[in-house]
Chain A
Amino acid sequence: MYAKDYRDLGTPAPGGARESVTLEIDGAIVTVPAGTSVMRAAALADHDIPKLCATDTLKAFGSCRVCLVEIEGRKGFPASCTTEVAPGMKVRTQSEALRSLRRGVLELYVSEHPMGSCSAECRCDLEKLAEEHGIAGSRYSNPHAARAQATPKPVDASNPYFRFDNDLCIVCSRCVRACEDTQGTFALTIEGRGLESRVSASQQEPFLESECVSCGACVEACPTGALLEKSVITAGLPQQAVTTTCAYCGVGCSLVAEITDGAVSRMVPNRNGRANQGHACVKGRFAYGYATHGDRVTKPLIRKRITDEWTQVSWDEAIAYAAGEFRRIQAKYGKDSIGGITSSRCTNEETFLVQKLVRAAFGTNNVDTCARVCHSPTGYGLKHTLGESAGTQEFVSVQHADVIMVIGASPTEAHPVFASQMKRRLRAGARLIVVDPRAIPLVKSPHVVADYHLRLLPGTNVAIINALAHVVVTEGLTKDDYVAERCERDSYEKWKRFVADPKNSPEAVEKISGVPAEAIRGAARLYARGPNGAIYYGLGVTEHSQGSTMVMGIANLAMATGNLGREGVGVSPLRGQNNVQGSCDMGSFPHEFSGYRHVSDDAVRAQFESMWNVPLSGEQGLRIPNMFEAALDGSFRGMYIQGEDLAQSDPNTAHVTAALSALECLVIQDIFHNETARFAHVFLPGSSFLEKDGTFTNAERRISRVRKVIEPLAGHADWEVTMMLSNALGYPMRYTHPSEIMDEIAALTPTFAGVSFEKLDQLGSIQWPCNDAAPAGTPTMHVGRFVRGKGKFFVTAYVPTNEKTSSRYPLLLTTGRVLTQYNVGAQTRRTANLAWHSEDRLEIHPHDAEARGIEHGDWVGVTSRAGDTVLRVEITEKVSPGVVYTTFHFPESGANLITTENSDWATNCPEYKVTAVQVVKVAQPAAWQLRRRAQEPAHSPSPLNPMPVD
């Protein structure tokens, strides 16, 4: 069932620029692009044709025979969904003959799906059509009974979010086609024939146990109540709908929140969403129940010492206490003794306010953001080479790529909705190169097989990118004309000499990386010859000691092969959190104002001082890891952290918690008691994305509106709380709506100069830069010239990480995510997504497991030089011998107890992806983990029955 008020035009619009065709439909003159179906043309002219198997999200199928029409001069009654318009065509959509034919077909359907089978909340298309055609029942014998005998157990309720009722299924195949075309998983099929036909998940398995990834595309496509959200069954039909933006990954899907009796009853993708193209995943579509989970903290809390119990206080008291403590600390230790952290889960407006509070009210530049630990090398690397700290493309650009290179990312797990778009292009013929130590699902999945999987040893990215460049340069595959026109000549020549050195040859790099030289050569040739080569990368690139070097290496390769500045090419970082791009854009780094301008730039600083009416420091502040060091040496004593869980997400937990414990005042603003709150003195209740207005900026620089769906549970949106704190500190903030904050951002940030809530409402979304030169935004960057003027090549020597295997720590641990959980799991652990992933496991190769006497499901101790933890084991060939892998979604897993303080040379982004470890079989989890598990509240509420909030 589609979103409330969605109008289905029956078949998709034909792609590309096309000539117009004029025809006549029921006497009306209609002009549409060539290639449009008769069904779509009729719908556009408000002459809707009945349909069951057709929908405008899927290619026409032509099976139901309900959409028959008459066309002058043609024999018979063609199906309007599969018949294209033609000049001068005369179509009749209504006649007695057509009505009779449709009645006959509908009566057959009703024989299998009796009238009244579906309840009102299904908005069943079949029953609606049958009613319109005067059908109350079927004259045919009772095949329903025969069908029930042939396909027993009609209801599959195994999926926590939807159920399948075979008795209501009309076998139209819309679900199967949605799984194939929209999602690209191919988990569904039609099994059997005639009355025995039924939808089957995998090999007649329950949905939960099948290959189904629970994206919900099938549920949405179902024209009857056969596939239906359990939340709709419970809550009933929605009464309102609000368009907003998903708060999970960096794809930034546009979603429609449907509301029943004041609560969200369903989330469906916005068909007009430019990022997600009408699709969603198991997290965005279904895992919103955390927002009303009983664990939500809705009252402010304070305590003098972190060993004290919390005391519930009023907002005024909590704010006054926090402000008083910050001023006390500054008076005693100096103004630079405190700082703040902005959140990539909060809106642009909230992030902008936090960094403004730190710079203007605290009077220091000690502000940083969680991008420090994920994509800060992206900002550094792309800024220095291309001139802008952001990806170069929009997602739809992938449909024009000929060769797709995925480096250190697993889009099907971490960016699933974009992965579906990518897989669609791959099924259409694009070639695929995967550079990853692990056999990510994209390497081999239905109808997608990577041409090359460069399965490198963790920590050897830069060696590989240099080897790819070596092949390109030494085999004459560079685009010298492009480079001559658009790049700095001297830097190019120097770079060419560097990469051409035999030490960067695939044969030399094979010894370092473990990747066969021929595979490197083949991949390099494939990418360079494109003609359109597109690179997508993730945290497997950035979270290394050479993260920034690798980003520059990628940019070097793209420039040298002419793969920047048009559709189908580019360098695209797949951002982890929903608003990582935005939080960076908003001036969250200690050295930059919004728009990536250094604080030491007097002219820029003067603009901010004038607008904010306060002198500002021109001296860059502390980064997060530097704050920890300063806390341990006693020169940093207070922190305000909005929506970030440093104690769980940052590496070397023992080091982090020691630093947090040393603070005299830690103020946390969050929706849950996270790990960091254990060290806090003030807890300010946060608001979820459903409870506020604002904007998020996704990985393609797309700014989208976040709209308030329900009132803030704690009474205030996050931006209001920051404002209260600022006012209490004596620096007045007087915004009445986030749109006013965006107006200030636009006034101070050249790349946002043309952005306003009004324009966002008009256009739906905007990709920055948006200014006088590009009033509707900029889908593709660096067209014609690079933002920095001439593109600059950097020499990117491979420097091995200090984190090396040894006899004591012989394995390399790397980390990542699973589809159903998100980041540190604070949100998804509080949803029914636990049905798929309820604990983090350690993946280990069979050879390494056998050598240690480890069997599948055993508990193993994982020890590094930083610490140790215990995880359950999964034996798999997804990892290579010598490499182990885990996720970090559960605090009791303690993944960051093991990771080290190693970090990227340029940005201090932690080296999460390489940790030398030993793995040994143990009897049970560590004592602290057992205690932790016992303390954890039951994290398995159904979103249908969220625990009540105080």
Chain B
Amino acid sequence: MDVERLVAMANDIANFFDAEPDRKAAVEGVRFHISRFWEARMRRAIIAHVAAGGAGLSPTARDAVALLEPP
């Protein structure tokens, strides 16, 4: 998968949940969304990207991906 595209998608999701005043809830919102809608190879790729430093990801997106369970 094109990681650059996945990073952009994750950041778009985080942009929505960042409106949530409670940051913990925002991070959980992103994590839940990705876990419900992203196919396994996409999740594997973004998890690997975070493991490699997570360049380009917003803080909320990065924290959310860090909470994802590996598929």
Residue numbers of A with Cβ under 8 A of B are 336, 366, 494, 498, 545-546, 548-549, 590-591, 598, 600, 619-623, 626, 629-630, 632-633, 635, 795-797, 799, 901, 903, 905-908
Residue numbers of B with Cβ under 8 A of A are 1-2, 5, 9, 12-13, 15-16, 18-21, 33, 36-42, 71
- Report A-chain residues with C-beta under 8 Å of the C-beta of B15: 797, 799, 905
Q: Are A620 and B39 interface neighbours, CB within 8 A?
A: yes
Q: Are A591 and B37 interface neighbours, CB within 8 A?
A: yes
- Report A-chain residues with C-beta under 8 Å of the C-beta of B5: 629, 901
Q: Give the residue among B9, B33, B39, B71 with the most A Cβ atoms within 10 A.
A: B39
Partner of A906, one of B16, B19, B71: B16
Q: Give the residue among A548, A598, A905, A906 with the most B Cβ atoms within 10 A.
A: A905
- Apart from A549-B16, A621-B39, list 9 A-B contacts with CB within 8 A: A336-B41, A546-B16, A619-B39, A795-B21, A797-B15, A797-B18, A906-B16, A906-B33, A907-B37
- Report A-chain residues with C-beta under 8 Å of the C-beta of B21: 494, 795
Q: How far apart are B59's CB and chain A's nearest CB, in angstroms? A: 16
Partner of A795, one of B2, B19, B37, B40: B19
Partner of A796, one of B9, B12, B19, B41: B19
* CB-defined A-B contacts under 8 Å, sample of 17: A545-B12, A591-B37, A619-B39, A621-B39, A622-B42, A623-B37, A626-B42, A629-B1, A632-B2, A633-B2, A635-B1, A795-B21, A796-B19, A797-B18, A799-B16, A905-B15, A906-B37
The 5 closest A-B pairs by CB, nearest first: A797-B19, A905-B12, A795-B19, A799-B15, A622-B39
Partner of B16, one of A622, A623, A797: A797
Cα A274 to Cα B45 in complex, Å, equals 49
Cα A366 to Cα B38 in complex, Å, equals 11
Q: Are B19 and A905 interface neighbours, CB within 8 A?
A: no
Cα A907 to Cα B15 in complex, Å, equals 14
Cα A548 to Cα B1 in complex, Å, equals 24
Q: Are B2 and A498 interface neighbours, CB within 8 A?
A: no
Q: Are B39 and A590 interface neighbours, CB within 8 A?
A: yes
- Report B-chain residues with C-beta under 8 Å of the C-beta of A621: 39
Which residue of chain B lies nearest to A339 when distances are taken between CB atoms in the complex? B39
Cα A797 to Cα B15 in complex, Å, equals 9
Cα A619 to Cα B35 in complex, Å, equals 10
Cα A591 to Cα B42 in complex, Å, equals 14
Q: How far apart are B60's CB and chain A's nearest CB, in angstroms? A: 12
With A591-B36, A629-B1 in contact, is A795–B71 under 8 Å at CB? no
Q: Are A905 and B13 interface neighbours, CB within 8 A?
A: yes
Partner of B13, one of A620, A633, A906: A906
Which residue of chain A lies nearest to B8 when distances are taken between CB atoms in the complex? A802
With A629-B1, A632-B2, A633-B2 in contact, is A795–B20 under 8 Å at CB? yes
Cα A277 to Cα B40 in complex, Å, equals 47
- Report B-chain residues with C-beta under 8 Å of the C-beta of A901: 5
Cα A797 to Cα B2 in complex, Å, equals 28
- Report A-chain residues with C-beta under 8 Å of the C-beta of B16: 546, 548-549, 797, 799, 905-906
Cα A795 to Cα B21 in complex, Å, equals 9
Cα A530 to Cα B66 in complex, Å, equals 48
- Report B-chain residues with C-beta under 8 Å of the C-beta of A549: 16
Cα A567 to Cα B20 in complex, Å, equals 33
- Report B-chain residues with C-beta under 8 Å of the C-beta of A635: 1, 41
Q: Are A908 and B20 interface neighbours, CB within 8 A?
A: no
Cα A600 to Cα B37 in complex, Å, equals 11
Cα A56 to Cα B41 in complex, Å, equals 61
- Report A-chain residues with C-beta under 8 Å of the C-beta of B39: 336, 366, 590, 619-623, 626
Cα A901 to Cα B2 in complex, Å, equals 13
